[in-house]
Amino acid sequence: MIKLRKDKVAYIQIGIHILKRISSGDLLKDEPIGTIRSLSKDYVVTTKTIQKAVDYLESKKAIDRKQSLGIFVSVSMAEANEILREHALALTREYIKDLESIGYQDQATNLIKGVKNND
């Protein structure tokens, strides 16, 4: 379903992938996203990893777990987008911190532009 990176925690990658599916309209609000077991098969990861991904999405209030019925989307496309944006901001803050730690203050924007232009 997605190629998971080996040097990153799997459950967050899966959680983000599900959020992307919601924000793109592939999964709609109040729609079921499957069960722990079915998601484990879909992503070919352990049920424990899926449980953690579901916990993560629940902590972001993006899904609802309904006893015996399964797991349902509880946010709109726009709300899912907002959660993704927060995640992107957190990644950016990490990135800026990393840059600052090697002496590059306030240069993130220029560095990104430079890399993009070279590509």
Partner 1 sequence: MIKINNLTKKFTGVKGIFDVNLQLEKGNIYGLLGPNASGKSTLIKSIVGVYLPTKGTIEVDNESKRDIRKTKISYMPDMLDFPNTKLIDIVNLHNNLLEDFSKVRLDQLLAQFNIDLSLKFKTLSKGQKMAFRLSLALAREVDYYILDEPLSGIDPVIRKMIITEIITSIDTTDKVLIISSHELNEIDLLIDYAILIKNGGVEGVYDIDEIRSETNLFDWYVDKFGSTV
Q: Which residues bind partner 1 (CB under 8 A)?
A: 4, 6-11, 36-37, 40-41, 44-49, 52
Is 23 or 49 the residue whose CB approaches partner 1 more closely? 49
State in angstroms the smallest separation of the CB of 58 from partner 1. Answer: 17
Phi/psi for 49 (5° steps) reads -60, -45
Sorted by sequence, the CB contacts under 8 Å of residue 90 that are 6+ apart come out as none
State in angstroms the smallest separation of the CB of 7 from partner 1. Answer: 4
Token pair recorded at residue 79: 């709300």
Residue 96 CB coordination number (10 Å): 16
Is 40 or 74 the residue whose CB approaches partner 1 more closely? 40
